[in-house]
Every structure is written in structure tokens, then in C-alpha cells.
Amino acid sequence: MRLLLTALALAATTAAQAPVVTTLLANGTTQTRYDMVILADGYQAFEQALFNTDCQNFLTALFSKQPYQTFAAYYNVHTVFRASVESGADHPDAVPPIWRNTVYNASYNTGGVARCLYIGNTSQALADAALAPANEGRVLVMVNDSRYGGCAGTFAVSYNGGSMTEVQIHELGHSLGSLADEYEYVNTTYSGGEPAQKNITTSPVGQKWSHWWGTDGISAFEGAGYNQFGLWRPKNNCLMRSLGVALCAVCKEQIAKVTNSIVDTIHQFTPATSSVMVQAGTPQTFTIGHFVPAGNNPLIAWKVDGTIVPGATSTTFLFDPSTVALGVHTVEASVQDQSAIVRLDPTAVMRETQTWQVTVSDPTAAQLRIPAFSSSLVWVVPGTPVVLSATIRNDGPASAGSFAVEYFLSPTQPWTTQSIYLGGDTVPSLGMGQQVALQHAVSLPWRLEPRVYYLYCVVDRLDVVHESFENDNERISALVCQAGPCVTKLEYDDALLCPYDTATVSIATGGTVHPTVIARCAAPGTMYLIVWGGSGTSPGTTLAPGLTVPINQDFLTQLGLATVNGAWFQSFFGVLDAQGLGRATFVLPAATGLPVTPGHFAALLVDPALGFTAVSNPVSILLGP
């Protein structure tokens, strides 16, 4: 029986000590408001009503003072009441000392300062404060003791005697606003650097608050921050210096800015998601709701793609997609709080914005993009066969007809049609929401240099397909080219030409191609000669034992040799450059009377001392209709 009674007593004690969480002031969601938390220390269970009264008295006083009055709707206030075993706080400096068993172990004479009332069990206090629906990291503590006192750090602590409201609002100035004490101790001189706090300075003119000079008695008054000399305060008197007076303009501004840095004054908006799809021709309404007091003259502005929309100053905005191109745009609403309490706001804490990413699409348009692109090899040498893999997707509301997927190599960004062309594929059609995986095999050109190349996949280069927007039709990768083997090669170096060993020139309209000799290992000074013929490549023409140029000589060969380096065969005979390249140009004028002829070019190398040293592969040149 005795055990049972003991157990019941323990249970009763535990129940009595269970914390009680109450929301005294609920102005809005915790996400949009400054959530203030107040704890109780030195209140026994039967004194919970006293704690509630103390909190109400404090809040009444707090919200009758500026800047809290103006921004009263910005705060939620929660209390967490955990009963103490005894009332009051420790008085270790009393004779004899007084010790009280309280939940957070509040004590006077903290740090040896008699009036400094602070809590010792901060761990328990934080754990209890965390029970509140939300917090901003700062916690107020009401201590049930009649001896004057208070102190501030993470916690703003005050006794609950006659000056409770003034003391707690002062301590809140430290805790919430990071404000300094403005009072001084006699015969003390400050010798440190410029303080971080906004309300004290080493500047005898108060440069820090120059934007307030001449208003509300703001100037510069020596004596602040516990020093009689060397530190200045903004106003002759302020709540951060003496109880019973108002906060000065500088302190009010700081508290207002801290509060506004935390709250989100735009507390509702539609559409509710930040990413919005809009179809061309269908206007979209955007709305915001805010709680900036009317007396603060809130200024609403709307921007589309960063440009202010003239006349759009209400909480509703009708976005007309016909005024912008198809594609992705931004719509931004902003509310500027123009409260006279804040004059300087470099970090724009008084401005709240809501941004939507708006995709304007055409219901009749496809939307091609490249979700994946890669090469079978990254490290390559000239002539390497590679396989390029690309996935093409149509995210648009309409199907795409036939379009090309092409590949380019370029040593620099961006690619152009003059970049090295790696060929392409044709996709006959791609339905809405469908994707296709392509594999494109190509042998890299021999003229590649040892360097990094940008590798591009380009979809619908000619804009054949009608798309909502055209700015996502390429994707980039890379190839690293190393030095290649010592070979003598001939290939075409022409825009949009792949493979590099076949070209066609019209005999009717004429045309130009650029046969290029590649002989990276040739000795300096080596000469090259490009010859042509229209009679096939085999058996070719033997120049020396084991050295046969793959051209069967005919009248075209004779024509080429007779007019080499002339208007038709420019730079067909020359000296290889420092990179071992010989760049030639074949220009066929229109209507020369030549017949349709399948022909070939081939190159041979000539060393001035040794004679013929190498021959190249043939490349096809078709003189077509």
C-alpha cells in the first residue's frame, strides 16, 4: 500500500511537471511569422495562471511600443509552462543565500552582477522551448521573483515584478535585435574597435546612423556600451539606456529589420506551385496575399522576365502569354514595405517577392529536347571509329514530323555550320511524349589535332519542326584527341560534309570543295601534289618501286597537271604547313562543258632531296549534273 501511494505521488508529480504548450497569439502560419517562445521558471504548478497573466501583461506592453506595435501582426507567441518545485530564483548573494529548486535554475548575481538574472539549466530550457510549434532561436524566460533583475543572451530573462515589462522589452532588444546597452559606467573609456551593434559607435558624429540625423532627436551622445567616454549613442535616452522611455529610431529600425528578415509578408499566392504551364492564347491570373499594414503604404509591383509591368500594382495580375515568346519566363510579384520605421535597407529585408517560372507552350507545337548524349569513346585519335548515342524526346503537346539529328565537333564554343561535321540521322516522326534512342557510327576525320573538342548533338538545325521554343535543341559532350599515327591521308575539309572521302560538284552550277592533305609526320619542307582522274583508282600510277598513286591517268589528269595552282586547282601543289597539312581548293565553274564524271583525287608527297616519299588514299569527286 505504501509503495502504491509512493507510485501515485510520483505519477502526480510527473504529471504536474509535464510541460504545457499554449499559443497565446496566432497571427498566421509559423512559416510566415516570427515565432516568439516564452518559458516559465520559478512558478509552481498552482502559479500557472500567474505566469499566463505575466505573459499577457508583457505582450500588452510589448505591442503598445514601437516598432512592435506596427508589426504586431508579424508575431506568433507561444508559451511553454513547466512547473517548478519551488517559487522564485536563487539569490546566492543574499545573506544568508537563498536557493530555489526550479526547472531552469534561474539565479541572480550571474557572472557576479547582482541584477543579472539568468538561467543555469539552458539545456532543459531549450528542450522545452523546442516543444513550441516553432521558434526563431531566441527564447524569453519569465522568472517568478520579485527582486529586480534580468539579463540577455540566447535567452531574454526578466523577473516578474513591477518593472517586468520594461526589463523584458529591454532584454528582448539584446536578444532579438542584437542591440547594445547604451548606459555607461563612470570614468570608463572605450579603446576597442567599431562595435558590431547598430546603436553604439566610436564615431563622435554617429556616422552609423547618419540617415536618422535630425529626426526624433537623433544625433550622437557620448557615453554608451558601459563606457563614459569613447562610445556614442544615437539619442540622449532610449529604452536600451533607461527603463520607462521609448526605443529610439535607430533601435526601432534594427528590431523592425530583424523581424522582417524572418517573416514572409506574402503569405499566400496562386497558382500555389512555383512552376506554371500556360498555353499561348490563354491568359493566366496570378494573385498574392500579404499582411503588410496599410499604414506602411505597401507598394506592389509585378515583373515579367525582370521588367516591371507598368500599372500592375494590385494583388492580382493577369499574365497575357501573347506578349511573350514561347518558352520559359518568370513572373515576379513584390511587396515593398515602406514603413517610416526603416530608412536604410541594403539587404532588402523589407521587400518580399514571389516568383513563378512560367512555361508558355503552343498546343499545336512539338517540343524536342535531348535528355541524353554520349560517345562510345572519349579518348580518341584521328580516324577513330566512334558511336554517338543520343536520346531525343518530344515533350510537346503535338507530334513532330521528320527532322534531323546532327553531330558537330568544335575546338571552341559555340558550334557553327563551319565546325567539323560528323553527319547525322533522320527521325521520320516522333509522337507526343515519345522518345527515340539513336546510335550514329562515324569515323573521325584525320585532320583532328591533339586537343579537347566540344562534341555537340543538334536537333532540327533547320527548324523544320514547329516547337514551343527552340533553345533546348542541342546538348554538349567532349572528346579528347591525342596524336594520331604517321599516315598520309587526303580528305575533304568542308562544311556539313561527312564522310570526308566523297564529294559532289555540279557541272551545271559549279561548286567548290577543299581537299586537304594530312601528313603529320612528314619532314619539314615536304611538298605535296594533288592529282585527279576520271578513270578509276586501280591499278593506279606507279611512281617508284612500292609507291603507287591510286589514280589511273587520263585527260583530266593531264588537265589538272597543266593548270595546277590555277583557278580550278588552287594550292594543289605546295609545301605542307607546320602542322603537316596541305590545304587545297577545287573550284569548278558553272557550265564548263565537262561531262558528268565520277572522278577521284589523290595526293603524293615529294621530298626535294629524296623524290616521291608517300601517296595518299583516293577521295571521290563526282562531277554531277
| CA-to-CA separations, 257 to 38, 67, 135, 194, 199, in angstroms, rounded | 22, 10, 17, 21, 14
Distance CA 112, CA 122 (A): 18
Q: Quick one: which H or E segment has residue 129?
A: helix 122-129
Residue closer to other proteins by CB (options 151, 365) is: 151
Least gap, CB of 452 to other proteins (angstroms): 4
Contact between 260 and other proteins per CB under 8 A: yes
171 is an interface residue for other proteins by CB under 8 A: yes
Q: Applying CB under 8 A, what is the total number of residues that bind other proteins?
A: 65
CB of 330 to other proteins, least distance (A): 14
Nearest distance from C-beta of residue 349 to other proteins, angstroms: 5
- The stretches of 510-606 forming alpha helices (DSSP H) are 555-562
Kindly state whether residue 591 participates in binding other proteins, applying the rule CB under 8 A.
no
Closest-CA residue to 505 (of 534, 467, 472, 544): 534
**Cβ–Cβ under 8 Å, residues 137 and 122:** no
Entry field: residues in the chain: 625
Q: Is 26 in the site for other proteins (CB under 8 A)?
A: no
The answer to the question of residue 30 lying near other proteins (CB under 8 A) is: yes
Q: Is 122 in the site for other proteins (CB under 8 A)?
A: yes
**Nearest-CA neighbor of 169 among 62, 86, 66?**
62
Binding other proteins (rule: CB under 8 A), the pick from 25, 55, 80, 152 is 152
Should residue 147 be labelled a site residue for other proteins when binding is judged by CB under 8 A? no
Q: Does 622 bind other proteins (CB under 8 A)?
A: no
> Residue 224 in contact with residue 200, Cβ under 8 Å?
yes
C-beta of 291: minimal distance to other proteins in Å?
Answer: 15
Q: Among 349, 377, 559, 594, indicate the residue that binds other proteins (CB under 8 A).
A: 349
Q: How far is the CB of 316 from other proteins (least distance, A)?
A: 25
- Among 181, 253, 332, 493, the residue binding other proteins under the rule CB under 8 A is 181
Of residues 82, 174, 329, 440, which one binds other proteins by CB under 8 A? 174
Helix (H/G/I), strand (E/B), else coil: 263: coil
Q: Please tell me whether residue 277 binds other proteins under the rule CB under 8 A.
A: no
- Among 378, 387, 508, 521, the residue binding other proteins under the rule CB under 8 A is 378
Show the cell assigned to 388: 554517338
Tell me the backbone φ, ψ of residue 15, rounded to 5 degrees. Answer: -65, -40
C-alpha cell at 450: 591533339
In this structure, are residues 141 and 125 in contact, taking their beta carbons and an 8 Å threshold? yes
Q: Does the footprint of other proteins cover residue 115 (CB under 8 A)?
A: yes
To other proteins, the closest distance from the beta carbon of 351 in angstroms equals 9
**C-beta of 50 vs 476, nearer to other proteins:** 476
**b/e map 391-408, b = 16+ CB within 10 Å:** bbbbbbbbebeebebbbb
Does residue 385 have a cis peptide bond before it, meaning omega lies within 30 degrees of 0?
no
Q: Is 437 exposed, middle or buried (0-12, 13-18, 19+ CB in 10 A)?
A: exposed
The site for other proteins (CB under 8 A) is made up of 29-32, 110-113, 115-116, 118, 122-123, 126-127, 129-131, 133-135, 137, 139, 150-154, 170-171, 174-175, 178, 180-181, 183, 226, 258, 260-262, 264, 347-349, 369-371, 373-374, 378, 450-452, 454, 471-478, 480, 482
